[in-house]
Amino acid sequence: MKGVFACIASVLRTKVAEQMAYRSHFFLSVILLVAGDLLVPMITLLVYRSGASFPGWSLHEALLIQGVFGLAKGIAFPIFFGMVGSTLSLVREGTFDLLLLKPRPALFMTMLNGLDPEDFGRLLSGGVLFGYALSGLPAPKFNGWIQFAGLFLASLAVLCAFSLLLSGLLFRWVGSSRVYDIFDSVTSFGMYPGTIYAKSFQQLMTYVIPVGIIAFVPASALLGRAGWETAGAGAAAALFLIAGIVYWHRMLRGYTSAGG
Amino acid sequence: MIRVIGSIQAIGFATYKEWAAYRSHMAVSLLVGPVYFLVQFFIWRAVFEGTDTLNGFTLEQMLSYFGIAAVINYLTFDFADWNLQMLVRTGKFITFALRPMPHWLFALAQKLGHRSLGFMIEFVPIFLIFLFVFGVKLWPAAPMWAVISIALSFLMNFMVNYCVGLTAFWLVRAEGVRRVFLLLKDISAGLFVPLTFFPEWTQKVLFFLPFQFITYVPTRVFIGEYELAGYSIGIPALVALQVGATALMAVLMLLLYHAAMRRFTGVGV
């Protein structure tokens, strides 16, 4: 375990140094990430300013969902999601072999290669939004925080599973940068209160393609709207993660190259 | 003139064939477009519960707005900024500087070829999905004006993006600037939410910026009525305004292009 953290720290140091070579680009990219992540909350704000609302959800409650979404991305993107980009470029260039030769598991090496300190900027936008949303709501109970913590881990598991599925797909569908569009479009369902969808669709979003677990379910726990039946959502997230790991390794077996 | 048109045709056709090799890349829109629209459908259906109109839109008009904006976007989509910045950063621009055709015209011809393929792979299928699956009204109120407006939007989107791409001649790595600018452009164009949802003072600013002519104006021309910042303009007058804005943008782009060419130096690749 100590070795794993040493590897992560070492790669992060190198990546930060690399980014510092283009400091203005780095800081602009962080600002952009923050601005980009605040886009959906801005639309929510504009809708509520017009006098409309999501039925049964106050502005702060709706923003809490989007804040949780931002926080989850702020952790998952710099750590796991970079593997999508690294698989995309390394497989296209034929240099993925170099990761396979290193004395660590291929999945870990792919994750390490994709570590992206720039994406930590998302934590800022998610954190600010989360704090702002909470400031307009009654303080959550202790049980709510415990439940939230567990479901937030489930949220990270779902995002990790998504990055594994997309990364695995790129072993076959070489060089298609549009996997990001697929991710953005599918997960956009998870940025709004689940109650705006039909009941059957909510079930689909929680147990089959669990985008609802990314933000809606953890936020509901914090608002005291979710019972312990959300354990089912946690199990769905765990299964989704296992499916992602199995899928990634199966797709890796299909990877071929001529030596980079 | 005939030779220039011939060259544009040849470049467009070559781009068409080049991208046809990556048609699955484009075909992803068949999933992404309807999924985004489905999200909009659920959002606005919920928001309109208990209210008939919101900032001048009924639910049906709101869904039409997003449906029309999406299909227009498939016709006018552009990445001239990315392409130009890549050419400048890698030094490959020098090969274009040597050609007997300005690069902006070459890029425009490429866009024509790329969007011709997009018309068949993205626009037509998504138009049919929106029309028959989601029941979005996709027939323009005034077809001739709509065609002209979309053509002008095609040019405006290209010229705005090309100007962003030209910043690469002054900045070493302009990726950050490009992404910030494009995000602001998409917001100001009304791609995410109709511009009438913005506060009054913001609408007044947006009215005088060129970005509304990329998405908001062609979509409103398609619908047949226009309102922004308290101004209601008839469709012929609006299209005339769009012609003026496009011409102004063309002048700005050409000025920037010549300034960039004076600045450019290359040592071969």
Q: Is the pLDDT of residue A194 over 60?
A: yes
More confident residue, B140 or B177: B140
* Amino acid A175: pLDDT: 82
- DSSP three-state, residue B138: coil
Binary contact (B176, A176; C-beta < 8 A): no
Is B178 in contact with B267 (CB distance < 8 Å)? no
Which of A61-70, A95-104, B70-79 has the weakest average pLDDT?
A95-104
A22-37 pLDDT, tens digit each: 777 777 777 777 878 8
Is B253 in contact with B241 (CB distance < 8 Å)? no
* Amino acid A124: pLDDT: 86
Which chain A residues have a beta carbon less than 8 Å from that of B199? Answer: 49
Closest residue in A to B36 (Cα) is A185
Which chain B residues have a beta carbon less than 8 Å from that of A43? Answer: 192-193, 197
Binary contact (B28, A47; C-beta < 8 A): no
Q: How many C-beta atoms surround the C-beta of residue A42 within 10 A?
A: 16
Q: Is the pLDDT of residue A209 over 90?
A: yes
Q: Is the pLDDT of residue B238 over 70?
A: yes
* Amino acid B268: pLDDT: 63
Which residues sit opposite B54 in a β-bridge? B57
Distance, CA of A167 to CA of B106 (rounded, Å): 35
Which chain B residues have a beta carbon less than 8 Å from that of A176? Answer: 24-25, 28
- Closest by alpha carbon to B196, among B235, B221, B223, B226? B226
More confident residue, A23 or A138: A138
Closest residue in B to A26 (Cα) is B176
Instruction: Phi first, then psi: give them for residue A54, nearest 5 degrees.
Output: -80, 125
Mean pLDDT, residues B75-92 taken together: 91
Write out residues 201-260 of A within 8 Å (CB-CB) of B: 201
Residue B237 in contact with partner chain A when CB distance is under 8 A: no
Q: Is the pLDDT of residue B269 over 60?
A: no
B184-210 pLDDT, tens digit each: 888 999 999 999 999 999 999 999 999
Cα distances (angstroms) measured from residue B184 to each of A132, B37, B142, B148, B210:
23, 21, 30, 25, 12
Residue B51 in contact with partner chain A when CB distance is under 8 A: yes
* Amino acid A260: pLDDT: 53
- Domains of chain B by residue range: 2-263
Residue A19 in contact with partner chain B when CB distance is under 8 A: no
Average pLDDT across chain A, whole number: 90
Max intra-chain CA distance, chain A: 61
